[in-house]
Amino acid sequence: MKKLLILFVFLATASVQSYAQLPEKAEDISPLLIGEMIPDAILKSPDANDHSILGIIGEKPTILLFYRGGWCPFCNAQLAEVQTIENKIIELGYQIVAISPDSPENLSLTDEKNKLTYSLYADSDGTLTKAIGIAFKSPEKYGVMLSEKSGGLNEGFLPVPSVFVVDTSGKILFEYINPDYKTRISSSLLLAVLKNLKETK
């Protein structure tokens, strides 16, 4: 019983520390760099099944699109814009994977709202988002909403909207990360990047 209590205290402390160590502002994040590897983590699909991110990436070179949630109009605009170039992205040999702190149920709502045909995954507790280095402490005004949208798993973080292009091993080939959540990479620039990566292989 004592060992269990010690373990619980350790886990509780570790959880608090992980959030305490989050950057205060979006401008203070330290993301993984081009050439580094995406760490493995378990994500949930809209049907609430578990999926390894490295398993997903291993199927095909991937565009990883991290967004704040289906509640964010700038994120919905980006998701919709990427949908318009999905066929061209597929022709270049890539798949699209969009990841947010939303719960699987809320992923489904975003999927239906934007009529998306690419894959959405939930990183509701931020395991992957924090490991990649793009999580920061959310403003207090978002706290209750983020908890509700994540099914109670988001204890107070937001991802800086980011796009990573990775190969099947998880190596980062390109990244676009902007602390200003209103500014996203354009579809034309993303396509140009993908074409350039293909030509330089």
Q: Is residue 10 part of a domain?
A: no
Largest Cα span, the chain: 60
Would you say residue 154 lies in a domain? yes
Low-confidence ranges of the chain (pLDDT < 50): 1-19
Q: How far is CA 181 from CA 10, 67, 87, 167, 176, in A?
A: 35, 9, 26, 26, 12
pLDDT of residue 47: 95
Domain count across the chain:
1
Are 71 and 92 contacting, i.e. CB atoms less than 8 angstroms apart? no
Give the residue numbers spanning the domain of 133.
Answer: 32-199
In a domain? residue 90: yes
Instruction: Give a yes or no: residue 137 inside a domain.
Output: yes
Is 5 within a domain? no
Asked whether residue 61 is domain-assigned, the answer is yes
pLDDT of residue 9: 36
> Which residue bears the tokens 């699987």?
104
Residue 17 lies inside a defined structural domain of this protein: no
pTM: 0.88
Please check whether residue 176 is in contact with residue 163, taking contact to mean a CB–CB distance below 8 angstroms: yes
- Is residue 12 included in any domain, yes or no? no
CATH number at residue 48: 3.40.30.10
